[in-house]
Amino acid sequence: MNGPAEHMLANAKPAMPRFHTIGWSFLHGRADFDIENLETLLSITPESRGALIPPPGRRGFPTYPEKPRVVIGKRKKGPPPSDIEMFGDYWLVSDRLKVLFEALDGSAFAFQSCDILTSSGSAGPTYWLCDVVRVLEAFDEQTSQRLRQNRLKFPSLRTARLLYFDAVAIGKAHIFRTPYWIPDIFCDQIVKDACKRAGIKGLRFVDCTPKTARKQGSAESGQ
């Protein structure tokens, strides 16, 4: 016969997942790198809006006429690139962060290889352009309805931690965008913990889980 503890565990709801925004941290300053062949990249097909902007109607990369050529140390001002830097609408990520992202949730990403050079002309460390291409309707119906009525509410709802996530809709995804505020990228605690264990530099995480959901999850996990 099951005792009281077993009965409570059997009837306990799973703890609410914890979600964060994930992105480049401005705290370490702008890194010293430049795009040497930007004009060539800008000569891509007419339907593209630019070299470092996704093509219309989708995430990912335009078809470049050649690889982006990134020169590190050309300006001789600022630190070398960390594991992640802003690169137009994309991220520039180190090879080790690419490997980690692919292991965590490979189908969420698109990558574009780059030629990396130092200011002396020698080969530099491996970096990739990275884009989060998964877009999910990740919120509960009430939150989604509010955002459909006024998407400009998104930043204030996020800051106030009033974005309520739908764990069923998110499923096994660990990182994603939403259709309401494309610049924001979300990840779960698994991604944050993995990046911390790996010693990834340059990332910034901001907890955006609603406070009521966090309290509920803590109480349930403590039963």
List the structure tokens of 168. Answer: 């069923």
pLDDT digits over 201-216, tens only? Answer: 999 999 999 977 544 4
Structural domain boundaries in the chain: 18-221
End-to-end CA distance of the chain: 20
Whose tokens are 């339907």? That residue is 47
Among 46-55, 88-97, 105-114, the least confident range: 46-55
pLDDT digits over 96-121, tens only? Answer: 999 999 999 999 999 999 999 998 88
Q: What is the pLDDT of residue 164?
A: 95
Q: Is residue 3's pLDDT more than 90? A: no
pLDDT category of residue 187 using cuts at 50, 70 and 90: very high
Q: What pTM was computed for the model?
A: 0.83
